[in-house]
Amino acid sequence: MANKTTIHMTLNGQSITTEVEPRQHLVDFLRDDQCLTGSHLGCEQGACGACTVKLNGKIVRGCLVLAVQADQGTVETIEGLTSSGHYKDLQQAFLKFNALQCGFCTSGMLLAAAELIELKPLATREEVREWISGNYCRCTGYQAIVDAICYVLEERLALAVNKS
Q: What is the pLDDT of residues 102-158, one digit of tens each?
A: 999 999 999 999 999 999 999 999 999 999 999 999 988 899 999 999 999 999 999
Of the candidates 69, 55, 155, the one whose C-alpha atom is nearest the C-alpha of residue 115 is 55
Question: pTM value?
Answer: 0.92
Domain with CATH 3.10.20.30 in the chain: 5-81
Domain with CATH 1.10.150.120 in the chain: 85-163
Residue 59 DSSP SS3:
strand
Length of the chain, in residues:
164
Class of domain 85-163: mainly alpha
Of the candidates 106, 116, 117, the one whose C-alpha atom is nearest the C-alpha of residue 142 is 106
Counting Cα atoms < 13 Å in the Cβ hemisphere of 31 gives 16
CATH topology of domain 5-81: Ubiquitin-like (UB roll) (3.10.20)
